[in-house]
Structure 1
Amino acid sequence: MSTQLDAQSEAQREREIRNNEIVAEAYGVRDVIDCDVPLERVSLKRNKAFVYPKVSPKERYELFTLDLIKELISYAVGCMFGRYSLDKPGLILASQCETIDDFHMKVPDPSFEPDADNVIPMCEGDYFEDDIVVRFRKFIAVAFGAEHLEENIAYIEQVLGKSLRKYFLNDFYNDHVKMYSNRPIYWQYASRTDNKGSFKALVYLHRYTPSTTSTVLAYLRDYIARVSGYAEMLEGPQEATNTASAGKRTKAKTAKDLREADKLRKIVNECKAYEDDVLYPLATRNMPIDLDDGVLVNYLRMGKAVRAIPAIEKKRKEVETWEWPVHPLGAER
């Protein structure tokens, strides 16, 4: 892939040189104007010399590869929501309130099925079968072959420098917001407005409906129940033992389990507060949005239900004065 892209960059460089020569010859200045175009000035996104001109070749290659992997992940998430499909080029679902049925009308027999309810949870553990890491692994298996799954996942994690789960929990949304210049098309519901929420879930803006928040609420309640159940299991009595050494191991295991249970209880408390104070009140409103209002207006209307984006939040007072939106910002917080 890298060799192919380098060849494309060089081919474009030659075209730009030839264009310069044609213009210079037309004006009779061919002998006095330098028509050469350095590779770093060829403004292709896949021209490593242009995108990373001030780093060593090794660093340039590593950054270039990292960008490719992040774009692959972004495309995979798009396929999870039905924005894209492995079976058909271009945008698939990109109009307001489109559904999974609309997707199947355009792609009748998809090799990779989009998420049915437009909510993809992203939490620290494997609590859901449609968790974003589970979904991504399925995408890689379909796209590149199940027989190469573990090898490909290992390579992706090597390039990222961390596990897939850590990337999705800590970095993916930041990268997405940056990619879309602070106007994200995937929105992240989160139990905290910073990046440290225990419960997170992605939805696709173009598939949002007034009932979407209620669907997220159902996932949140399920998550609370599962985490609570796990905490209760860890807090439960240990099996009896007849030996002193086994007793020491049991005691150590109990202390570790109690620490983990305490951590889980804090997660439950955080999520219950999010449910009671933020998500349930928003869900009962069945709040509509209109894509013509734009991301800025619609995102601010979600208040504390979604991750805070500083570049959007700092415009709140200005947006509150706008009268043209179909659904004005009003008093959302």
Structure 2
Amino acid sequence: MTLQELAQNWISYAVGIVLGRFKPGVPGALGRGGFSEEIAEKLRELSVPHGIAVLDEGHPYDLAARVFETLTIIYGEDQASEIVHQATAKQGDPVATVRKYLSGPFFREHIKLYRKRPVYWLLQSPKKRYGLYLFHEKLTSDTLYRIRGEEYVAAKIRLLETKIDEMRKLKDVSEGREKRRLEKQISEFEDVLEDVREFAKKIDAILKQSYTPHIDDGVLINMAPLWELIPLWQAEPRKCWKALKDGKYDWSHMAMDYWPERVKEKCKINKSYAIAHGLVDELLENPKSKNNFI
């Protein structure tokens, strides 16, 4: 293993701690490590609620800041900075470097490592100006509502709107170079705002269909309805979504959620499907389907 690979593994471990996959110091837990209780407790305190962390500077659940803090607790600030440098081959502010790494390269490496069944999911706005990581095992039917709400997307939209309004007021009383600087900043912030609003619209469209994850369906099927929220890796989830629509995975709970009538019809003639969806007793009692089913 190269130094770069080792450093990347430490960043991945830190991501797992923050997202709640690893529980340092907890007997029998995954990723418990060999830390002192004092250090283990500090590391556990960095875990975010609900397995959601955002790539957004200044946010209380900023994944990059918490990843670097994790490394600092384990190794000290200087060594943590060196780990970031070795992992990314980049110099500069380590937290900003980690944030950029998590916004793309880390997720691509993670997808390869887990053979296209990622444990951590990177949801991003269409132009990738805003993004969040999820630990898929903590997904619930409330997760997207939480992301869309006041902790994340809605708060970001409101913050951007306020900032743009403030800069416009300053621009109105400015002249020359300062006015041109503010005009450029306003344009940049408006681009980000438009991107985040589009992200919100895509989430709203998914919420209207009452998205509910089902861990037993597997990673890719659970990702499939969210394919538009994963611009960095859309091809596989989108392909799976098409297969779901075409009836290829009607054994899955996700298929039952979206196309219940079609799936129930298949259950009448496919006992394994009926078992998967808990419809065996119901179908046996139905004389119209009993002969085909048995």
- Structure 2 stretches of 5 or more lacking a match? 32-39, 91-96, 260-294
Listed as ranges, the matches of 1:255-266 within 5 Å are 255-266=180-191
Match of 2:157 in 1: 224
**1:238 Cα deviation from its structure 2 partner:** 6.0
Match of 2:69 in 1: 138
2:41 counterpart SS class: coil
Match of 2:217 in 1: 293
Is 1:161 paired with 2:85?
A: no
Contact 2:227 2:234 in 1 (8 A): no
**Identical counterparts, % of pairs:** 18
**Whole-Å separation in 1 of the counterparts to 2:170 and 2:213:** 50
**Whole-Å separation in 1 of the counterparts to 2:204 and 2:255:** 21
Go from structure 1 to structure 2 and tell me whether the alpha carbon gap of 1:90 and 1:236 turns closer, same or farther (over 3 Å shift): farther
Moved more, 322-331 or 181-190: 322-331
**1:232 Cα deviation from its structure 2 partner:** 2.6
**Whole-Å separation in 2 of the counterparts to 1:174 and 1:300:** 17
Partner of residue 302 from structure 1, selected from 216, 223, 226: 226
**1:283 Cα deviation from its structure 2 partner:** 3.1
Contact 1:133 1:165 in 2 (8 A): yes
**Whole-Å separation in 2 of the counterparts to 1:315 and 1:116:** 29
Partner of residue 6 from structure 2, selected from 68, 85, 90: 68
**Whole-Å separation in 1 of the counterparts to 2:210 and 2:129:** 24
**1:116 Cα deviation from its structure 2 partner:** 1.3
**1:142 Cα deviation from its structure 2 partner:** 2.1
Contact 2:124 2:230 in 1 (8 A): yes
**Whole-Å separation in 2 of the counterparts to 1:89 and 1:181:** 29
**1:91 Cα deviation from its structure 2 partner:** 4.4
Give the TM-score of the pair, scaled to structure 2: 0.72
Moved more, 313-322 or 221-230: 313-322
1:201 counterpart SS class: strand
**How many residues were matched structurally?**
236
**1:80 Cα deviation from its structure 2 partner:** 0.8
Letter in 2 for 1:71: N
Structure with the greater alpha carbon radius of gyration: 1
Contact 1:84 1:90 in 2 (8 A): no
- CA RMSD, aligned part only? 2.6
Match of 1:31 in 2: none
Contact 2:64 2:98 in 1 (8 A): yes
**1:154 Cα deviation from its structure 2 partner:** 2.8
Post-superposition Cα deviations, 1:91-144, rounded to whole Å, max 9, x if no partner, equal: 449xxxxxxxxxxxxxxx833221113210113xx1412111111122123222
Listed as ranges, the matches of 1:1-333 within 5 Å are 46=1, 64-88=2-26, 91-92=29-30, 110-112=41-43, 113=45, 114-123=47-56, 126-144=57-75, 148-149=76-77, 151-159=78-86, 160-162=88-90, 163-192=97-126, 196-218=127-149, 219-237=152-170, 251-276=176-201, 278-307=202-231, 308-320=233-245, 321-328=248-255, 330=258
**Whole-Å separation in 1 of the counterparts to 2:192 and 2:129:** 6
**Whole-Å separation in 2 of the counterparts to 1:208 and 1:85:** 18
**1:85 Cα deviation from its structure 2 partner:** 2.1
Which structure dedicates a bigger proportion of its chain to helix? 2
1:117 counterpart SS class: helix
**Whole-Å separation in 2 of the counterparts to 1:154 and 1:181:** 29
**Whole-Å separation in 1 of the counterparts to 2:242 and 2:209:** 23
Match of 2:262 in 1: none
Post-superposition Cα deviations, 1:216-275, rounded to whole Å, max 9, x if no partner, equal: 1121111111122222333332698xxxxxx9xx63233122212101101111211221
Letter in 2 for 1:226: L
